[in-house]
Amino acid sequence: MTGFGGLSGSDLMLAEVGVIVALTALFAWLAGLVVRGLMRRENPQLAFAAQRLAIAVVVAVGAVLAIQELGVGPAALLLVIGLLAFAAILAVRVPLEKEGARFFAGIYSPFKVGDTIRVAGHAGRVIEINAMTTILLSEDDHRMIAFPNSTFLGQPVENLTPHAWKEVVVPITLAGSVDLAEFENAMLKSLSKLRLRLDPRFPPIFTVRSRSAQGSDVVLTVMVRRPEDREPVLAEVNLRVSEELARGRAAPPKPSAPSTTRPRDLS
Amino acid sequence: MAKMRLLVNTQTPLVQFLRNPAGARSPAWPAEVDLTRLKEGADYRFSPGGVTRMVYPLIRRLTSEGGLEEAHWVSLNPNAPSTVRLPGMTLHHVGIDPERMAGYGTTKEAIWATAHGIVGKGSSEGLFWTDDATEYTFYNRTTAMRIRELDADLDFDLFYIHDFQQLPVGQMLGTLKPKLFRWHIPFDVASIPDSWRPIFRRYLSAYDRIVVSSDRYRRELERLGHRSDVVRLYPYIDPAEYQIRPGAAEVQAVCEKFGIPRKATVGLVVARMDPTKGQDRALEALADVKVALPDLRLVFVGNGSFSSSKGGVGLSKSERWRARLEERARVAGVSDRVLFTGHVTQAELDALYARSDFTILPSVNEGFGLVVVESWIHRRPALVTDRAGVAELIEDGENGLLFDPDHPTALARQMRRIVQDDGALRRRLVEGGRRSARACSLETAARQEREVFEHLVEA
């Protein structure tokens, strides 16, 4: 049996699925662009996550439409997807909550490792921020106090570190294809234009938290001159980081490794 | 202890390659070169200065004593093969493009000039916010990344980072392994702009231990607010590298080559051609004594550093300074009493020490002053600026004669003192210098450095 334009029913169905896939890809790309544009002044990591989420939602809707086109009932499909999502959320609820708390704390929390803070009646030096907890060392150096990261979203936190208010910390994830030295160089040049708003004693500094072939986790720290500059400086730094990331600076080829690497002599 | 793998990082490379007229990393060089297959003098030469005098002998000594399994040395050397092998050691060269090199050079010269008190700290206040300073950061980041890549393959036990050019490397390495930093140039908190202090503290705190060349610098680091471990180790040389008593024919040859009169009294100034080295102060003193000491001649040995040479960072500071010195000598009417030899070979230098009657270190500011130790091992009395780190080892009239370089009459007085001496002062200075030289010998230093290494690696 042939249908429209001489195509069989199954051919037509596949063509329609193809169109849905193409449109989904187009809308996903557009959604990514729109979200990135809207979040230009937000933290680059957060903007990236939101961009990925927007793309994922569009892709999910497209997938549902495409599968429906293949003859699977939408109600049954949605039920299966819903049950899978519910099970997944139940399984990872606690880690997800903690990871979410850590993610947002990493971007928005007003302290970092090394700072002295007071929270929930305890004061101490932050010695670790991991996926689940933030660990404080008591002021007498004798006790470790662990707080679930979610604590910091629901409790007032006091940072007792001198000049802590000056610090604007921006975590950045660089893909392995980005040349860290070039990126840092471009950012330092860019940020020197904000010098009037920044403490002259503390030029911006990058700290590499981890580095592998896949990429680098770095932290950019700038110190503002006045408390009221924190928010606008943060937005401006986020914008400049996002723009620089969008430019993309390719890493140069690595020099060849020495050929005489030998096993260690542990004698 | 188990043998350790050491990573050394200096700005100045151990060897400079002569055969590469193209400038940039020439395809003529393969990525990896065996130095033992090249010819010293034709293909390469050892960089003059402390790197060759100190770090290289130290590594060789520690390797021969069995303390090092292998040593890797990362330095700036744009006109060189990427990797150079020599016995017991591998050199790794970092290159950055000429535009970045210019910015880096400007920044590190500014740091250097400020630390030496040549420029007022007010003019350097905003240095770390300039575009040039981003190239200083770029160079250090590139170096740190290269070191991290090597570490991933070689698993070093200790990172030994040298001098102010490389100061940010410790923070940039981001490794928990022990990091040792040696500060070579003068360090005086008063000469450092206020805005630099947090930067210096931040970078210095990334190291587990800091080595300085004098007790004075250790106290200055405390004044800066640096709280971690600081140890004073005097710089050193290996006396075995010197021919203490060259033959008469060699001495005569060098005198003929440079036109040193047979009967002249010779004061030898061995220093890079640079304003901080204070050759101008020696000229002023010479003018002061030209009537009283008509036979006195000053011989200036040395040219530019790696940075100021054409093969290095590309500045021409040394040529400009020499021209100014020659002009000053002409104005002071002592042109016929001074000689500029430029760079000399080690054999020629030994012969010049042998020919000299005394040596002068006239520096305006000097991290240490190893030439004084050279003078001691050559058994020559040393007239030493009181602004040098080595000055804290000197007792005036016992193992050297001290002077304030800002008062030419003080140096002139010491010149008269040594030239008109009946012999007793000279003998005392020579004997005192010989004893003091032991504190600055490779023998002593290798033991002390090994203790520092072990303290960090085995802590």
Closest chain B residue to A206 measured between Cα atoms? Answer: B172
Set of chain B residues whose Cβ sits within 8 Å of the Cβ of A189: 131, 134
What mean pLDDT comes out for the span B298-311? 70
A52 HSE (CA, 13 A, CB side): 6
Contact in structure between A168 and A233 (CB atoms under 8 Å): yes
Q: Which CATH number is A116-159's, of 2.60.120, 3.30.70, 3.40.50, 2.30.30?
A: 2.30.30
pLDDT, position A56: 84
Burial B286-316 (b: 16+ CB within 10 A, else e): bbbbbeebeebbbbbbbbbbbbbbebbbebe
Look at residues A39, A164, A53, A32 and name the one whose alpha carbon lies nearest to residue A100.
Answer: A53
Does residue B69 have a pLDDT over 50? Answer: yes
Contact B126 A205 (CB under 8 A): no
Is B189 found in the same domain as B221?
yes
- In angstroms, what separates the C-alpha of B12 from chain A's closest C-alpha? 20
Distance (Å, rounded) from C-alpha B179 to C-alpha B162?
Answer: 11
What mean pLDDT comes out for the span B258-267? 95
Count how many residues are written for chain A. Answer: 267
Contact A202 B199 (CB under 8 A): yes
Contact A207 B131 (CB under 8 A): no
| Pairing outcome for strands B44-46 and B15-17 | antiparallel
For residue B168, give both structure tokens. Answer: 């940010």
Q: For chain A, what percent of residues have pLDDT higher than 70? A: 83
Contact in structure between B258 and B299 (CB atoms under 8 Å): yes
Does residue B236 have a pLDDT over 80? Answer: yes
Does residue B21 have a pLDDT over 50? Answer: no
Contact in structure between B351 and B300 (CB atoms under 8 Å): no
A265: nearest CB among B3, B92, B154:
B3
B195: nearest CB among A180, A184, A201:
A201
Q: Report in angstroms the alpha-carbon separations of B333 from A29, B286, B298.
A: 80, 10, 13
Contact in structure between B25 and B78 (CB atoms under 8 Å): yes
A258: nearest CB among B134, B145, B153:
B153
| Pairing outcome for strands A116-119 and A157-159 | antiparallel
Is B320 found in the same domain as B208?
no
Is B105 found in the same domain as B69?
yes
What mean pLDDT comes out for the span A214-232? 91
Closest chain B residue to A190 measured between Cα atoms? Answer: B131
For residue B331, give both structure tokens. Answer: 């104005």
Contact A192 B194 (CB under 8 A): no
DSSP B259-301: T--TT-EEEEEE--SSGGG-HHHHHHHHHHHTTT-TTEEEEEE
pLDDT, position A259: 40
* Three-class DSSP category at A206: strand
Binning chain B into helix, strand and coil, the percentages to the nearest 5 are 45, 20, 35
Distance (Å, rounded) from C-alpha A243 to C-alpha A202?
Answer: 23
Q: Please report, for the domain that includes residue B31, its CATH number.
A: 3.40.50.2000
B319 HSE (CA, 13 A, CB side): 7
Task: Give start-end residues of each CATH 1.10.287.1260 domain in chain A.
Answer: 4-108
pLDDT, position A266: 36
Contact in structure between B310 and B279 (CB atoms under 8 Å): no
Is B244 found in the same domain as B348?
yes
pLDDT, position A255: 46
pLDDT, position A256: 43
Instruction: Return all residues near A231 (Cβ < 8 A) that are at least 6 apart.
Output: none
Does residue B22 have a pLDDT over 70? Answer: no
Task: Return the residue in B150, B172, B202 with the most chain A beta carbons within 10 A, the one to mutate for interface testing.
Answer: B172
- What's the mean per-residue pLDDT of chain B? 91
Burial B218-245 (b: 16+ CB within 10 A, else e): bebbeebebeeebbbbbbbbbbeebbee
Distance (Å, rounded) from C-alpha A134 to C-alpha B440?
Answer: 50
B141: nearest CB among A184, A257, A261:
A184
Task: Return the residue in B63, B75, B134 with the most chain A beta carbons within 10 A, the one to mutate for interface testing.
Answer: B134
Instruction: Return all residues near B282 (Cβ < 8 A) that are at least 6 apart.
Output: B267, B269, B298, B300, B360, B362, B411
Burial B423-445 (b: 16+ CB within 10 A, else e): eebbeebbebbeebbeebbbeeb
Is B401 found in the same domain as B271?
yes
Task: Give start-end residues of each CATH 3.30.70.360 domain in chain A.
Answer: 164-247
A200: nearest CB among B82, B153, B195:
B195
Higher pLDDT, B141 or A265: B141
pLDDT band at A94 (very low <50, low <70, confident <90, very high): low
What pLDDT digit, counting tens, does each position of B207-224 carry?
999 999 999 999 999 999
Is B279 found in the same domain as B193?
no
Tokens 């949605």 map to which residue?
A78
DSSP state of B400: B
Total domains, chain B = 2
What mean pLDDT comes out for the span A84-101? 66
Helices (H) and strands (E) in chain A, counts: 6, 8
Secondary structure element (H or E) that encloses residue B217, with its range: helix B215-224
Set of chain A residues whose Cβ sits within 8 Å of the Cβ of B83: 255-256, 258
What mean pLDDT comes out for the span B367-384? 96
Does residue A109 have a pLDDT over 80? Answer: no
Does residue A253 have a pLDDT over 70? Answer: no
DSSP B19-39: S-TT-SS-TTS-SEEEGGGS-
Contact in structure between A131 and A96 (CB atoms under 8 Å): no
Contact in structure between B154 and A258 (CB atoms under 8 Å): yes
Distance (Å, rounded) from C-alpha A32 to C-alpha A26?
Answer: 10
Set of chain A residues whose Cβ sits within 8 Å of the Cβ of B72: 258
A203: nearest CB among B3, B128, B135:
B128
- In angstroms, what separates the C-alpha of A49 from chain B's closest C-alpha? 26
| Interface predicted TM-score (ipTM) | 0.78
Is B70 found in the same domain as B37?
yes
pLDDT, position A7: 64
What mean pLDDT comes out for the span A165-172? 89
Is B256 found in the same domain as B116?
no
Q: For chain B, what percent of residues have pLDDT higher than 70? A: 95
A257: nearest CB among B148, B153, B172:
B153
Q: Report in angstroms the alpha-carbon separations of A51 from A30, A32, A60, B200, B429.
A: 10, 5, 14, 40, 77
Which amino acid makes up residue A57?
Answer: V
Is B447 found in the same domain as B320?
no
Report residue A152: phi and psi, to 5°.
Answer: -75, -10
Contact B129 A202 (CB under 8 A): no
A189 HSE (CA, 13 A, CB side): 14
Is B167 found in the same domain as B290?
no
Q: Which CATH number is A164-247's, of 1.20.1250.20, 3.30.70.360, 3.40.605.10, 3.30.420.40?
A: 3.30.70.360
Closest chain A residue to B195 measured between Cα atoms? Answer: A201
For residue A52, give both structure tokens. Answer: 């990925």
Contact A211 B174 (CB under 8 A): yes
pLDDT, position A84: 78
Does residue B28 have a pLDDT over 70? Answer: no
Distance (Å, rounded) from C-alpha B383 to C-alpha B286?
Answer: 13
Is B13 found in the same domain as B111?
yes
Closest chain A residue to B144 measured between Cα atoms? Answer: A181
Is B335 found in the same domain as B293?
yes
Does residue B337 have a pLDDT over 80? Answer: yes
Contact A180 B150 (CB under 8 A): no
Range of the structural domain that residue B73 is part of: 4-236+441-458
Which amino acid makes up residue B332?
Answer: A
Burial B63-97 (b: 16+ CB within 10 A, else e): beeebbbbbbbbbbbbbbbbbbbbeebbbbbbbbe
Set of chain A residues whose Cβ sits within 8 Å of the Cβ of B202: 205
What pLDDT digit, counting tens, does each position of B29-68 carry?
788 899 999 988 888 888 877 777 889 999 999 999 988 9
CATH number of A4-108: 1.10.287.1260
Q: Quote the crossing angle between the two packed helices B279-289 and B408-419, to the nearest 10°.
A: 60
